[in-house]
């Protein structure tokens, strides 16, 4: 049995690498003890308001359009419980356990910033569920990403009060009450503002966007490797990767990608073998890998910076400021930064797949690649990879539709009190489908490129490319004649998602880089 590593969370200082580890699993989390005093002080400030019969939104009033309705102190616990139950209106399949892990961790971090006024025990309970491997069942649909991810976070809060459902570490579906018992916890009777603090916040949309970012990083790195394989298969030129070209432009992602491609191809026997072949230029899908993929990398890095800030943010409302004793209403629950970041990620994911699909088409076109038509002997009798490219084209096209920005949409809610919303939750949720689509495209490219290299087998590529060629051949065999290809495509989809690639590729990714 593997013993999980224990990592301490310091609110405001959780970095992208740690968020990636939380998503991957295998960690136990503790909270920096220094935050306890701030948590207690904020909770005391809320209790002072109740004890002095002051009227403050979210503490002793209704919510949203009902904010002007005063609630008596004897009904405050019922108010918070009703809030959680009434907002548990999500629909659709439950979020993946990896996403829920991020939700639990980032919710704990947000509350532990000391601006929410909740008891330390409530924050501790979130981490206790996390460490027990218990994931509240959160339906994937039902949030517009403003006033927080209300419905999804309500389903999380339900478990804390002994309602709703959760999944155990063993994959067993249990009631919220049973989940709390298994974690060694008693269901909470929520205090003033605690239900609202749990429901307000952008943690679900942020977690989904982070999951999309990590998937995008994986397919990005795999696409650089598949691009290198394709270049070798068509005997393309490495001159377009000359550092001087990219320094003359100065785009950081472009320079990083060009450098990575040079390192990938260093030591290739194929590259110098066709130095005098007479071909003047390669198609853009090969020649412009640094320009296109570099722009994608810059967008990944920008989205990563936004999401790291949001993962550490106090996105509750209202916020407690203990230095002055004020409780101030604002709009930190509005997830517009996350929506924009998710839309930017969608563009990058779509382009990674789009350019890879064009390289597949290049490999299959004998007039451009110099390889047998559709990369198979006895063409006509065999169709080779003809229809694999059709699948890639279908998914690349689907991603174009999915890449339409969600952030430009808004549909008012709560009787027009919440009259502009971000749609961040959908913006982030659709990234999972897009990553899987692009993983198929990139996997098909790598499979086709490996076929192309083997059809011209003689000289070897670079050590790094050869190592990956061998790994691919461990998953899919050379296509001698037509066979059932669906299992091969699935194997290559998983290859594209694994990101177990050379350090030169991983080190340029935001979650692996030392600085964003």
The catalytic residues are 57
State yes or no: cis peptide before 318, omega within 30 of 0: yes
Rounded Cα–Cα distance for residues 388 and 383 (Å): 10
Whether the CB-CB separation of 356 and 223 falls below 8 Å is answered with yes
With beta carbons less than 8 A apart as the criterion, state whether 234 and 369 touch. Answer: yes
User: How far is 516 from 512, CA to CA, in rounded Å?
Assistant: 10
Secondary structure (DSSP) of 376-438? -SSBTTB-TTHHHHHHHHHHHHHHHHHTS-STT----BTTTTB-----HHHHHHHHHHHHHHH
**∠ at Cα 222 (214, 235), nearest 5°?**
160
d(CA 111, CA 203): 11
Say how far apart CA 50 and CA 450 lie, in whole Å.
Answer: 69
Token digits of residue 166: 């959760």
Closest by CA position to 418, among listed 334, 497, 509: 334
Which of 415, 408, 396, 420 has the alpha carbon at shortest distance from 331? 420
Residue 369 CA to residue 364 CA, distance in Å, equals: 7
CB 257 within 8 A of CB 290: yes
Dihedral angle computed from the Cα positions of residues 216, 217, 220 and 221, in that order, rounded to the nearest 10 degrees? -150
> How many residues are present in the chain?
516
Rounded distance between C-alpha atoms, residue 508 and residue 124, angstroms: 35
**Contacts for 445 with CB less than 8 Å, ≥ 6 apart:** 223, 226, 227, 229, 230, 356, 357, 359, 360, 363, 392
Helix (H) or strand (E) holding 128: helix 120-131
Alpha-carbon span 427 to 396, nearest angstrom: 18
Return all residues near 497 (Cβ < 8 A) that are at least 6 apart.
215, 218, 219, 222, 435, 436, 439
Cα 25 to Cα 505: distance, rounded to the nearest angstrom? 23
27 closest CA partner among 170, 183, 134, 131? 131
For residues 294 and 302, what is the distance between their CA atoms, to the nearest angstrom? 12
Which residue bears the tokens 């290299």? 453
Residue among 427, 430, 425 nearest 145 (CA): 425
Residue 434 in contact with residue 403, Cβ under 8 Å?
yes
CB 227 within 8 A of CB 447: no
């Amino acid at each position: 049995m593997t013993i999980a590593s224990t990592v301490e969370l310091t609110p405001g200082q959780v970095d992208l690498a740690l968020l990636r580890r939380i998503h991957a699993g295998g960690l136990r989390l503790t909270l920096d003890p220094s935050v306890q005093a701030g948590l207690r002080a904020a909770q005391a400030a809320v209790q002072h308001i109740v004890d002095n019969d002051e009227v403050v939104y979210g503490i002793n009033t209704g919510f949203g359009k009902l904010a002007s309705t005063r609630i008596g102190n004897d009904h405050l616990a019922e108010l918070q419980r009703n809030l959680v139950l009434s907002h548990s209106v999500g629909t659709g399949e439950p979020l993946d356990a990896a996403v829920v892990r991020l939700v639990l961790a980032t919710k704990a971090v947000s509350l532990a910033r000391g601006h929410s006024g909740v008891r330390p025990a409530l924050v501790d309970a979130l981490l206790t569920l996390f460490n027990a491997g218990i994931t509240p069942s959160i339906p994937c649909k039902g949030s517009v990403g403003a006033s927080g991810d209300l419905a999804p976070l309500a389903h999380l809060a339900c478990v804390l009060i002994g309602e709703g459902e959760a999944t155990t570490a063993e994959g067993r579906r249990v009631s919220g009450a049973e989940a709390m018992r298994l974690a060694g916890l008693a269901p909470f009777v929520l205090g003033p503002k605690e239900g609202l603090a749990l429901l307000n916040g952008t943690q679900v949309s942020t977690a989904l966007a982070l999951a999309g970012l990590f998937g995008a990083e994986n397919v990005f790195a795999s696409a650089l490797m598949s691009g290198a394989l394709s270049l070798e298969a068509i005997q393309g030129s490495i001159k377009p990767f000359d550092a001087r070209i990219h320094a003359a432009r100065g785009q950081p992602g472009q320079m990083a990608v060009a450098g990575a491609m040079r390192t990938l191809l260093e030591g290739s026997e194929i590259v110098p073998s066709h130095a005098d072949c007479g071909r003047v230029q390669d198609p853009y899908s090969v020649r412009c890998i640094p320009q296109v993929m570099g722009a994608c990398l810059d967008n990944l890095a920008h989205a990563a910076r936004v999401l790291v800030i949001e993962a550490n943010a106090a996105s509750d409302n209202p916020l407690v400021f203990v230095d002055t004793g004020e409780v101030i209403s604002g709009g930190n629950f509005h997830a517009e930064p996350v929506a924009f970041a998710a839309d930017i990620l969608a563009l990058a994911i779509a382009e990674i797949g789009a350019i890879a699909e064009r390289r597949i088409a290049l490999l299959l076109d004998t007039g451009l690649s110099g390889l047998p038509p559709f990369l198979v002997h006895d063409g006509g009798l065999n169709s080779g990879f003809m229809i694999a490219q059709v699948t890639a084209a279908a998914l690349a096209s689907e991603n174009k539709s999915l890449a339409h920005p969600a952030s430009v949409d808004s549909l008012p809610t709560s009787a027009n009190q919440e009259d502009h919303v971000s749609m961040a939750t959908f913006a982030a949720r659709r990234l999972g489908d897009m990553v899987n689509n692009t993983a198929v495209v990139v996997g098909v490219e790598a499979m086709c490129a490996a076929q192309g290299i083997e059809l011209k087998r003689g000289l070897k590529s670079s050590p790094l490319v050869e190592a990956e060629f061998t790994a691919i051949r461990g998953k899919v065999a050379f296509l001698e004649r037509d066979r059932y290809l669906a299992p091969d495509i699935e194997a290559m989809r998983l290859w594209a998602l694994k990101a177990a690639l050379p350090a030169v590729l991983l080190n340029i990714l935001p979650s692996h880089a030392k600085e964003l």
